[in-house]
Structure 1
Amino acid sequence: MATDYDSPRKTDEDLSEDSLQELQARRVDKGTSTIDVDPDEVAEGMELPGADLSGEELAVRVLPRQADEFTCSRCFLVHHRSQLAEERNGRLVCKECT
């Protein structure tokens, strides 16, 4: 909930003067506010598993492994050399896989 810090603040006397009916009316007003959501708009952005994506093209630029990177022999992800945990029999292993 956003707070307006520029609005005048209520003192303890002001708070005690609020009647029970006013407080209950405020609670009812806050409870009746709803958010309108169009189910068609929500469903447009969702893809179902097994959907035919043969007509889709990816626009991703793939770079070859750089000199300061390595491929982990366990997870097969390319990591920076700073993530190298160990080398066993010529196999490089990242910190996440140790």
Structure 2
Amino acid sequence: MATDYDAPRKTDDELNEDSIEELKARRADQSSGKVDEDETEAAEGFELPGADLSNEELSVRVLPRQADEFTCSSCFLVHHRSQLSPESTASRLVCTECAA
């Protein structure tokens, strides 16, 4: 790139003024494109294909407790007996994850 050494040079103050003006102009340009839009209102207009589940029924078959299962008294999840913590008592069954 060629440099013109005869051209007048800008001082630091002039450089700072230019950069502040440029920043203000950029900020005005960036904020002019923003639109304040409510996301929930925008999402109400979208319809997904096959998303109407209003007349669908959920049917779940609940199995009875098995002999080799227990319910953890801490996390209330059903676990296999192999996950029973050694620190468990007869009144308080705890899984190995909750006992750790």
TM-score (norm 1): 0.39
Per residue, is there more strand in 1 or in 2? Answer: 1
Which structure has the greater CA radius of gyration? Answer: 2
The TM-score with structure 2 as length reference comes to 0.38
